[in-house]
């Protein structure tokens, strides 16, 4: 039976197109990775294996600064986003439906709907006014902006996890005279932990990848890795940018793999 339905679902040419698509999808990325190990200065002509572009990137003060900034922003923003997203997920699931729930849902997911360039322009204007009024030029603007657009990415997996948990264990804890805080700390939180970790990872990856909003919000000398790379692309391209890209790519793949392991355990 299974075999027959499999045969029926075959559409001529589809598998060929799919294989071509996968090749086209990965060929540019693999090229990028391979040429990051090129010993020569070209990103198209192979001259042999070398790690010196990684060494160059590692010793480049601008890259070091941008990496540190990217990591600080992503850490702070994902921590903030995950905290508010966890609270909001607890507030909007597993209770009697209330008026305004849709409103909360729409506001939280709003960054997924508004084009990035529009948010970027809006924050440029707002933070410009605040910067002038307060004189403060630090990283807090970037952290706040990142936390806001990362919140839906943290919220969705946490909410999904919560929806799969019923209230019976919490009720049992309450029956055993645990107060609400104890119940949350010792029952809800441990059960919810994989969802929170998954949400935090997505938020971290999203923050690390952002170009457009960062480009508009950053003050002078506040390049993150992606905006630094965007700036470099105007000049002659060397495999140094490939090396940075490959490192960033590696970090993303590791975090995503962890994300999939965390969310799969649930089933």
Partner 1 sequence: MSPAEQSQRRKSTRNGWLLSAPALTLLFLAASGPLLIVLVYSFLTPGQYGNVVWEFSLDGWVGILFTRDIFDGTTNLADAHLTIFWRSVKLSLMTTALTFALGFPTAWFIATRPPAQRAMWLFLITIPFWTNLLIRTFAINEVIRNEGLMNTVLIGAGLISEPIRIINTDTAVFIGMAYVYLPLMVLPLFAAIDRFDMKLLEAGYDLYASRLQVLRHVILPIVKPGIIAGSILVFVPSLGAYVTPRVLGGGKNMMIGNFIELQFGQGRNWPLGAALSMALLLIVMAALLIYVRASTKGNNPHG
- Within 86-145, the residues that bind partner 1 by CB under 8 A are 87-88, 90-92, 95-96, 98-101, 104, 107-108, 110-111, 113-126, 128, 144-145
- Using the minimum distance from each CB to partner 1, give the nearer residue, 60 or 83: 83
Instruction: Work out which of 74, 76, 148, 198 binds partner 1, going by CB under 8 A.
Output: 148
Shortest CB 55 distance to partner 1, Å: 20
Handedness of CA 112, 118, 124, 127 (dihedral sign): negative
Shortest CB 176 distance to partner 1, Å: 20
Q: Within positions 53 to 82, which residues make up the interface with partner 1, using CB under 8 A?
A: 80-81
The span from the CA of 252 to the CA of 246, in Å, is 10
Q: Within positions 194 to 213, which residues make up the interface with partner 1, using CB under 8 A?
A: 205, 208-209, 211-212
- Using the minimum distance from each CB to partner 1, give the nearer residue, 191 or 211: 211
Q: Within positions 165 to 184, which residues make up the interface with partner 1, using CB under 8 A?
A: none
- Using the minimum distance from each CB to partner 1, give the nearer residue, 72 or 90: 90
Q: Is 85 in the site for partner 1 (CB under 8 A)?
A: yes
Find, among 205, 114, 221, the residue nearest to 154 by Cα.
205
**What dihedral do alpha carbons 211, 216, 220, 225 form, nearest 10°?**
0
Q: Within positions 21 to 40, which residues make up the interface with partner 1, using CB under 8 A?
A: 21-22, 24-29, 31-32, 35
- Using the minimum distance from each CB to partner 1, give the nearer residue, 56 or 209: 209
- Per the CB < 8 A criterion, the answer to whether 127 and 139 are in contact is no
Shortest CB 224 distance to partner 1, Å: 11
The span from the CA of 147 to the CA of 169, in Å, is 32
- Give how many residues touch partner 1 by CB under 8 A: 92
Instruction: Work out which of 84, 165, 178, 191 binds partner 1, going by CB under 8 A.
Output: 84
Find, among 227, 205, 203, 200, the residue nearest to 214 by Cα.
227
Instruction: Work out which of 37, 53, 54, 155 binds partner 1, going by CB under 8 A.
Output: 155
Q: Within positions 228 to 257, which residues make up the interface with partner 1, using CB under 8 A?
A: 229-230, 233, 237, 241-242, 245, 248-249, 252-253, 256
């Amino acid at each position: 039976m299974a075999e027959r339905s499999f045969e029926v679902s075959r559409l001529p040419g589809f598998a060929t197109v799919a294989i071509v698509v996968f090749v086209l999808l990965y060929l540019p990325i693999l090229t990028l990775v391979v040429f990051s190990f090129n010993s020569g200065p070209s990103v198209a002509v192979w001259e042999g294996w070398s790690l010196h572009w990684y060494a160059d990137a590692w010793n480049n003060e601008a890259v070091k600064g941008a990496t540190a900034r990217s990591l600080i922003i992503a850490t702070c923003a994902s921590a903030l986003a995950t905290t508010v997203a966890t609270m909001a997920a607890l507030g909007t699931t597993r209770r009697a439906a209330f008026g305004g729930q849709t409103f909360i849902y729409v506001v939280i997911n709003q960054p997924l709907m508004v084009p990035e360039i529009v948010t970027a322009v809006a924050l440029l204007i707002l933070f410009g006014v605040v910067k002038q009024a307060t004189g403060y030029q630090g990283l807090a603007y970037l952290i706040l902006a990142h936390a806001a657009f990362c919140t839906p990415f943290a919220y969705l997996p946490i909410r999904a996890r919560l929806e799969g948990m019923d209230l019976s264990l919490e009720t049992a804890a309450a029956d055993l005279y645990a107060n609400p805080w104890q119940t949350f700390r010792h029952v809800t939180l441990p059960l919810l932990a994989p969802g929170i970790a998954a949400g935090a990872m997505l938020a971290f990856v999203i923050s690390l990848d952002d170009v457009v909003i960062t480009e508009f919000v950053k003050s002078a000398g506040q390049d993150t890795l992606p905006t630094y790379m965007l700036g470099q692309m105007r000049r002659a391209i060397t495999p140094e940018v490939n090396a940075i890209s490959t490192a960033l790519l590696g970090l993303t793949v590791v975090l995503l793999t962890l994300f999939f392991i965390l969310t799969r355990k649930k089933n």
